[in-house]
Amino acid sequence: MSTTGAPHATKNAPDDASSAPMFEASGGDWSEIADSIAEAAALGEERIVVNMGPQHPSTHGVLRLMLEIDGETVREARCGIGYLHTGIEKNMEFRTWTQGVTFCTRMDYLAPLFQESAYCMGVEKILGITDDVPERAQVIRVLMMELNRVSSHLVCLGTGGNEMGATTVMTLGFTAREEILRILEAVSGLRMNHAYVRPGGVAQDVPDTLDAQVRDALPRIRGYLGQLGDLMLANPIFKARLVGVGHLSLAGCMALGVTGPVLRSAGLPYDVRKAAPYGGYETYDFDVPTSTDADCYSRVVLRIEECYQSLRIVEQCLERLSASTGAPVMVADKKIAWPAQLAIGSDGQGNSLDHIREIMGTSMEALIHHFKLVTEGFRVPVGQSWTTVEHPRGELGVHLVSDGGTRPYRAHFRDPSFNNLQAVAAMCEGGQVADVVVAVASLDPVLGGVDR
Dist CA 406 CA 92 (whole Å)? 11
Dist CA 155 CA 60 (whole Å)? 9
pLDDT, residue 345, reads 59
Three-state SS at 135: helix
DSSP 58-119: GGTB--EEEEEEETTEEEEEEEE--TT---HHHHHTTS-TTTHHHHHTTSSTTSHHHHHHHH
pLDDT, residue 371, reads 80
What number of residues does the chain have? 452
pLDDT, residue 226, reads 93
Contacts 24+ apart (CB under 8 A), 319-327: 320/135, 320/139, 321/136, 321/139, 321/140, 321/143, 321/206, 321/210, 321/211, 322/211, 324/135, 324/136, 324/139, 327/134, 327/135, 327/136
Which residues in the chain come in under a pLDDT of 50?
A: 1-11, 17, 43-44, 340
pLDDT, residue 41, reads 53
pLDDT, residue 80, reads 87
pLDDT, residue 321, reads 93
pLDDT, residue 346, reads 64
- This prediction has a pTM of 0.84
Q: Classify residue 23 by burial, with Cβ atoms within 10 Å: 0-12, 13-18, 19+.
A: middle
Dist CA 323 CA 350 (whole Å)? 30
Dist CA 25 CA 2 (whole Å)? 9
Angle of helix 210-232 versus helix 296-323 axis, rounded to 10: 170
Dist CA 83 CA 89 (whole Å)? 16
Dist CA 156 CA 441 (whole Å)? 7
Dist CA 247 CA 240 (whole Å)? 14
| Closest listed residue to residue 110, CA positions, set 391, 384, 400 | 391
Cis-peptide, bond into residue 236, ω within 30° of zero: no
pLDDT, residue 256, reads 92
Spatial CB neighbours of 230, under 8 Å, sequence gap ≥ 6:
none
Tell me the backbone φ, ψ of residue 81, rounded to 5 degrees.
-115, 180
Q: State the virtual CA torsion across 89, 62, 110, 344 in degrees, nearest 10.
A: 70
Domains and CATH numbers, the chain: 1-45 (no CATH), 97-333+377-446 (1.10.645.10), 339-370 (no CATH)
DSSP assigned state of 401:
E
Quote the distance between the C-alpha of residue 195 and its chain's center: 16
